[in-house]
């Protein structure tokens, strides 16, 4: 099969999201995806494309930090530069999880958060005011408790400064 045309794929996606937004009474927010495991689809995770889609569809942004880390790794760019290129002004919700290396590739494994993940969350929270922050982790009870406690502290400290 031929590879998709990035420009046509972007225009089509924007039209579909706008159609969905017109047919529903709830706000539409879009999440950044992980890179697809097929050659020729990396355009899907490029910050410029994500910005164009969100602006063209006139919708909010669910920023998945784990997906952003994986995308930056695939595109071979610094994750902070990658995040800075995203339309952070549109962030409504943030998801955070613990990516890990698997078979030589970074994947959004939903493992416990590490210092890198907390640092990225801090970077994002300095630049956004999300309505919701979601921890994507459901494994060990004690690890869940520790992460939730730390996240609560981070969010409480941020809210106290507003």
Q: What phi and psi values does residue 36 have, to the nearest 5 degrees?
A: -75, 145
Q: What is the pLDDT of residues 10-34, one digit of tens each?
A: 999 999 999 999 999 899 999 999 9
Instruction: Name the token pair of 25.
Output: 């009474």
Fold of 6-160: TIM Barrel (3.20.20)
Q: What is the pLDDT of residues 146-162, one digit of tens each?
A: 999 999 999 999 887 64
What mean pLDDT, rounded, does the chain reach?
95
Report the distance separating Cα 19 and Cα 15, nearest Å: 6
Q: What is the pTM of this model?
A: 0.94
Residue 129, CB half-sphere, CA atoms under 13 Å: how many? Answer: 4
**Residues 6 or more apart from 88 whose CB is under 8 A from it?**
61, 63, 124, 127, 128
When pLDDT is cut at 50, 70 and 90, the band that residue 63 belongs to is very high
Q: What is the pLDDT of residues 102-148, one digit of tens each?
A: 999 999 999 999 999 999 999 999 999 999 999 999 899 999 999 99
**Any idea where the domains of the chain sit in the sequence?**
6-160
């Amino acid at each position: 099969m031929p590879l998709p045309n990035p420009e046509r794929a972007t225009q089509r996606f924007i039209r579909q999201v706008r159609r969905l937004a017109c047919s529903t009474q709830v706000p539409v927010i879009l999440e950044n995806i992980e890179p697809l495991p097929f050659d020729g689809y990396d355009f899907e995770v490029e910050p410029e494309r994500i910005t164009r889609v969100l602006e063209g569809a006139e919708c909010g942004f669910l920023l998945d930090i784990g997906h952003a880390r994986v995308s930056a790794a695939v595109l071979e760019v610094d994750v902070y530069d990658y995040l800075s290129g995203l339309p952070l002004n549109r962030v409504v919700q943030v998801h955070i999880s613990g990516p890990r290396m698997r078979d030589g590739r970074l994947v959004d494994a939903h493992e416990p958060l590490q210092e890198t993940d907390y640092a990225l969350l801090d970077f994002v929270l300095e630049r956004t005011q999300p309505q919701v922050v979601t921890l994507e982790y459901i494994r060990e009870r004690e690890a869940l408790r520790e992460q939730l406690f730390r996240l609560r502290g981070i969010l409480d400290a941020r809210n106290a400064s507003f």
